[in-house]
Structure 1
């Protein structure tokens, strides 16, 4: 039975109602319920604390709680993973993938191809650590049973979320759905970002390879030498989508005496990816390493589907993939597509000619090891055990790891799965120049990935080759290469496939490093030198704009001599009002920062009126110097005409559309009905936000769609962790839920949640509710 306890809710009434619902539950759900039990305790903002006696029960409680808050998102994503979107929504509509939205037909062909490949079946058949361990399998099975129990008890027609209430496409999920979701998460930095090219094999020879960008993040791990009280501290600031299946769900998972972990868990995954236990905290940022390579195939003359390796012909493999498509009138038909494969991986439609083709080799194509790795990290008692967990599983798919422990140590590593391509091999085998992708010669076996003796799988680098750094002061990353993880100890001795060295750092990386420097010197106005939990939070959420700090003095000087500037079409524009606004601006991106949006629009135009780039370089006064990477480039080259043109064009846009020059972030940026502070990473903002589109003529950006998502600051003390968090888009995607926008409003006004981790803290919450799931 289920028992819900709240101060203002009578237990007999709830028991009676639940008993009535259980009578309606189908037999398979009740059979699953007989195997599991769990308690779901909710504290402020609906945050769930799941308590169970084993991993199956833990998954059961988690699946049930997640379904209460986000069933519709999961139901839609399951259609995606099964390749069934075209059946219900038509082929041309866009998929629900928040990272790489493509047409439903492309999405369905891709995921049907994954199914047809049999990769998941093969991985699940392997023993640990190559395949899932027993605890993980129990967790997944329990999660499915808990999710389905909630759906069965509630009924599709009575779901609280109007998004999918009564929809024909809502139904129970399976363990295969959860495993497929995990497999797809591992491929986020690889195969999953090439859906169009894979689905269109042989059909789009003239299209370049298009790869969707991966999300980003910030992270600090602060050690005993940099904290006021000598404790280890951690800041997690992942920049993931604000909608869809790649949102974080905040959860606390406890098996007494076995597991006690709290943090952020991506939708549909039954474990914590970013979080802490009593003595260790960790987070991830997206790695700069290559997690795939492309191979250029030399085709057999006259045979477009055969290629040469060491002079011998090899036929491509074929997969016939069928997708059911619904037309506008509701009729369905079957569309069949042929996908092609090679010894390296899928053959891409992009770049396929009569002589050559490209094949994708994804190091994470068959990787589920990261799921067990996260479980092992969750029970680590110190950094030594955390490193051992990573060395054992070697499954981290596409992210760096930064961690701190109660002893005050810090740790950085790129333990992600990286193809074994040495610098020598990359130079010898490079088949074409590409600034982002490593393209190797597929016509010779000498260019196959190598193997390390300490690697858990062939073809990837082992732990000994990975960039790592252990410090007592700090390590940090904001999606740059490992080089300046700590500028006092630059990392350089790693294969270039892991990232570059001695190259220009973006402004977000630079502002993050500068924030640490100022905090350690006490020069940031936040009190005596050294981090406390309060100063760590205030540092991370300060809304600094490094681009403005570096460039505004030069613009002020220009404004004093050029009150009228010429726009890109030759019109003379009076910029005095804009100059005054920017001079008075506080230089931050707070809700009420007057001039922050004017600056952004000017900054984005600096590369020209028709090109809005996050990586401008031509207008710096002092160019990048690899010997001074933290302070260069800097200054505004006021002699460059692009500067005056950019300001004139910006002012003209504002005045022509009646937009006040003092427009604030709170007026221009929204998530739903909630105003959102913050600015973009290109400007040099740390806790950044992104809308993906320019400012509209109404003075509004499209809704915020990505950025700081699950902010977590942890101080690991001998008495237990002290933690502040905020889930920027809130816990539930259900617009009817009380937890749909409550934390968004908290984030908007600069607030946070003081986490409840211990039993005493949880039980002390005055409005605690408990849902007990019992056979």
Structure 2
């Protein structure tokens, strides 16, 4: 480390003993870094723990945080111009739309309002201390190093790198919680504008689901932005891009009778939605290791001494879209039970950098209702759509995770979730040393009953699959459970939950098949989301568990061990190939020439040879997988009736063995194959390309394949330049997949775990920790989790930094 100010003592002790590390004082923290730069933060207070974490995170990712703060403050347009795209990994938008959204959020005073509330609605004293400490620690690093000397060339010397505030951290937390809700619709919010008024002589009665007037073609005919514009962001929310796999394996599922957890979130590789691996310790109070989303001060997935847990993204929506009937002649007033209400109008000024280098102010107008902001999609003279987000005031998530970071049992985890009710959009799967496992959807869920879904749903227009609720009837507003921490949400008593001694598993499927031996039923329908059948990735996961429990997977005697759990995680099986490749090979062998969509005759013999030589996996050297992935993705795109190409369609009574077989008699199958081969001829990649040739991180070949194919280890990227004859995820429009991976066994002697952070700890391309774990992931190797003080002290890579405030 370089020279630092007098308040910082930096000591590098390769192979140091625990006694040689020293201890933080009463007003500071100790950062102990082990292999691959993983920081272990030790402190005696929550403030100091946050201080050490903020400093360590800044060492690795100061530029990422500085860029994120520009977004959170609504200042991107003034620095980079209004038309470039933000660096938001979950919900990118133009800088102007992003700035308008965040400027509006700040002007509403939402954060201040939540902070003023007592816990559990507002943050606890401990969490406030963590946030304040994190902020101070990050800023301390900027002061020590100086912006002009930052090691990351991305932002070195840039005037937009500035100290952060606690408000920035709180805003980041709120935006993360709203990521699959109102934040995903920010462009539709910031571009909403009323159509020209069209006066009518009389005020009609409120619309009802039976008349479906607001959703009719006539009602939306005068809309500036068609209602179909809402379909794309909603499909994105529900597409599983924020997917994950999570397993909790109980005493009856493991060879040693211990419990295990598999952590495998799928998130973007690029932007602000990355994960950071860290251990946080206050002796006798808190000791947790795992992963945190960038810019957050607590661990969200990981393990303590006696408890391990993970999360997967829920299949359900955590918002409601309401369709409002407007007052005739006044498109900024709406009717509720026949009575007019005026929309709230706000003017939001944004500073914008012009082409000539000068700044000017662009002012946009936003509209709001009792059900939240108005959307541009479908705003006509007759009706408008609004969005109400269940996470609108949720900062409780971090207190819930902080309590879970202290928990040592499933019951303590349950108590944390009951108290704070802050899980924003995730399922929870957990195991403890008792050998029990637990699953729940404790996420904040709009209180829309089954009866309301039946009576309040307005038929959506063509192209929309999401039910719209009738906002013109007060009876369609969210209700309240007596055990809910805030109004409008379902309380813990209504949440799906399951405790077992064998296993619980989820890959973004609905709660029903958490364990096929004990299907979950009886919970409100809104928890089911969009899924109508068990998709291929969760099906593969459940089949892998079944094979291991039966000992039929070729990995030895029945029951999980830590090595078999690691092996299955990185096996890279492709479920769509398991059930469809043989049929496609039969097709191309019997019909070597197929007709493409444009009428061209396509010779598919070389492609057939490539597919015949493929091993059916997504390994680095699985030659032929890229061709199969392109074909199957195209087949799904061409299928206007989902699943119509299967020989045996999905059967809910056989969820693990259907669908299967591709019906090659369906013309779309041959067309999809011909079009895929035709497109492959224009690619730089060979027909038998492997995942390692097609996807890389900083030149490191990656394995895995797409969610749509039914790949458990998801890995995908959308190229910008196609470097080196393939796709380099570090130079891609979008790259996502397995990010932080942890396989942990909860033994009586303490947790044993292996981890991988696939894109490594630092976003700084000049850092030695930019792609070091990526190389491990590429070769199927793991990092040994160092949790105890003795294990940390024994690290041959140990570096210790003592911070004093």
Which interval holds the TM-score relative to the shorter structure? Answer: over 0.9
Q: Could you report, residue by residue, the CA deviation over 1:58-110 in whole angstroms, capped at 9, with x for unpaired residues?
A: 00000000000000000000000000000000000111111111110000000
2:762/2:770 contact within 8 Å kept: yes
Q: Say whether 1:714 aligns with 2:744.
A: yes
Q: Deviations over 1:301-348 (max 9, x none)?
A: 211211111222211112111100001221000011111111111111
Equivalent positions of 1:141-160 (< 5 A) are 141-160=132-151
Question: Are 2:14 and 2:796, in contact at CA under 8 Å, matched by a contact in 1?
Answer: no
Contact (CA 8 Å) 2:699, 2:728: kept in 1 or not?
Answer: no
1:6: which partner in 2? 12
What does 1:660-675 correspond to in 2, within 5 Å?
660-675=686-701
SS of residue matched to 2:487: coil
Alpha carbons of 1:658 and 1:424: their partners in 2 closer, same or farther (altered >3 Å)? closer
SS at 2:688 equivalent: coil
Check the 8 A contact 1:614/1:683 in 2, yes or no.
no
2:493 aligned with 1:475: no
Query: For 1:234-253, what aligned pairs fall within 5 Å after superposition?
Result: 234-253=261-280
Given the alignment, which residue of 581, 600, 605 partners 2:629? Answer: 600
| Aligned-partner Cα distance in 1 for 2:471–2:400 | 32
Partner residue of 2:226? Answer: 206
- Stretch deviating more after TM superposition (49-58 or 350-359): 350-359
Partner residue, 1:577: 606
Tell me what 1:307 maps to. 334
Structure 2 residue 111 is matched with structure 1 residue 120: yes
Distance in 2, Cα, partners of 1:335 & 1:501: 38
Question: What corresponds to 2:66 in structure 1?
Answer: 75
Q: Secondary structure at the match of 1:195?
A: helix
- What displacement does 1:613 show? 7.7
SS in structure 2 at match of 1:67: helix
Match for 1:42 among 18, 21, 33?
Answer: 33
Structure 1 residues 690-713: Cα deviation after superposition (integer angstroms, max 9, x where no partner): 213699798523626110000111
- Cα offset, 1:440, TM superposition: 1.2
Report what 2:154 is aligned to.
Answer: 163
Does the C-alpha gap of structure 1 residues 672 and 614 become closer, same or farther in structure 2, counting only changes over 3 Å? farther
Q: Distance in 2 between matches of 1:589 and 1:620?
A: 22
SS at match of 1:243: coil
| Structure 1 position 8, deviation (Å) | 7.2
Per-residue deviation, 1:55: 0.4
Q: Secondary structure at the match of 1:298?
A: strand
Shift, 1:599, TM fit: 1.2
Match of 1:272 in 2: 299
**C-alpha deviations, 1:653-678, integer Å up to 9, x for none?**
33455742221111111122111111
Partner Cα separation in structure 2 for residue 182 and residue 313 of structure 1: 36
Q: Does 1:136 align with 2:127?
A: yes
Is the CA contact 1:508–1:685 (under 8 Å) kept in the aligned structure 2? Answer: yes
Rounded Cα–Cα distance in structure 2 between residues aligned with 1:567 and 1:334? 52
Give the structure 2 partner of residue 298 of structure 1.
Answer: 325
CA contact (8 A) 2:480 2:489 kept: yes
Shift of 1:242: 0.5
Tell me whether 567-576 or 439-448 shows the greater mean CA deviation.
567-576
CA–CA distance in structure 1, aligned partners of residues 584 and 717 of structure 2 = 26
Inter-partner Cα distance in structure 2 for 1:9 and 1:713 = 26
Report the alpha carbon displacement of residue 649 of structure 1 after superposing the two structures with TM.
Answer: 2.6
2: CA distance between counterparts of 1:655 and 1:79? 43
Task: Judge which range, 71-80 or 303-312, deviates more.
Answer: 303-312
Q: Secondary structure at the match of 1:605?
A: helix
* Contact 1:606 1:616 survives alignment (8 Å): no
Counterparts in 2 of 1:569-648, with a 5 A limit? 569-607=598-636, 611=637, 617-648=643-674
Q: Deviation digits for residues 363-413 of structure 1, max 9, x if unmatched? A: 110111111000111111111111111011111111100111111111110
Distance 2:296 2:683 in 1: 46
The CA RMSD over aligned residues, in Å, is 2.1
Question: Would the aligned equivalents of 1:728 and 1:747 in 2 still touch at CA under 8 Å?
Answer: yes
**What's 1:22 paired with?**
none
- SS of 1:590's equivalent in the other structure is coil
Structure 2 CA distance for aligned equivalents of residues 410 and 307 of structure 1: 49
Name the SS for the 1:100 alignment partner.
coil
Which residue of structure 1 lines up, in the alignment, with residue 513 of structure 2? 484
Do the aligned partners of residues 412 and 701 (structure 1) sit closer, same or farther apart at CA in structure 2, a change above 3 Å counting? same
**Structure 2, unaligned stretches of length 5 or more?**
1-6, 17-23, 195-223
How far is 1:686 from its partner?
A: 0.2
Q: Which residue of 1 aligns with 2:402?
A: 375
Contact 1:40/1:772, CA 8 A, preserved across alignment: yes
Corresponding residue for residue 678 of structure 2: 652
8 Å Cα contact 2:91/2:179 also seen in 1: no
SS in 1 for 2:272: helix
State whether residues 248 and 503 of structure 2, in contact with CA within 8 Å, keep that contact through their aligned partners in structure 1.
Answer: yes
Task: Map 1:313-332 onto structure 2 (within 5 A).
Answer: 313-332=340-359
Q: 1:356 Cα deviation (Å)? A: 1.0
Q: 1:677 aligns to what?
A: 703
Question: 1:462-497 CA deviation, whole Å, 9 max, x = no partner?
Answer: 111111111100000111111111000111211110
**Corresponding residue of 1:504:** 533
Report the alpha carbon displacement of residue 577 of structure 1 after superposing the two structures with TM: 2.6
1-structure distance, mates of 2:492, 2:449: 15
Q: Deviations over 1:563-609 (max 9, x none)?
A: 333333333333233222222211111111111112112212324xx
2:316 corresponds in structure 1 to 289
2:97 paired with 1:106: yes
| Compared CA separation, residues 474 and 184, structure 1 to 2 (3 A) | same
1:464 matched to 2:490? The reply is: no
CA distance in 2, matches of 1:592, 1:739: 25
User: Is it true that 1:753 corresponds to 2:780 in the alignment?
Assistant: no
Q: 1:452 Cα deviation (Å)? A: 0.7
Alignment of 1:568 with 2:597, yes or no, is yes
Does the C-alpha gap of structure 1 residues 320 and 695 become closer, same or farther in structure 2, counting only changes over 3 Å? closer
Q: How far apart in 2 are the matches of 1:695 and 1:3?
A: 44
1:739 is displaced (CA, Å) by: 0.5
CA distance in 1, matches of 2:397, 2:654: 37
Select between 291-300 and 154-163 the one with higher mean Cα deviation.
291-300
CA contact (8 A) 1:492 1:501 kept: no
Instruction: Output the CA distance in 1 between the equivalents of 2:595 and 2:379.
Output: 47
The question of 1:397 aligning with 2:424 is answered: yes
Match of 2:221 in 1: none
- 3-state SS in 1 of match to 2:252: coil
Matched, 1:386 2:386: no
Say whether residues 1:743 and 2:743 are aligned partners: no
Deviates more, 1:425-434 or 1:365-374: 425-434
Q: Distance in 1 between matches of 2:507 and 2:550?
A: 21
Shift of 1:426: 1.1
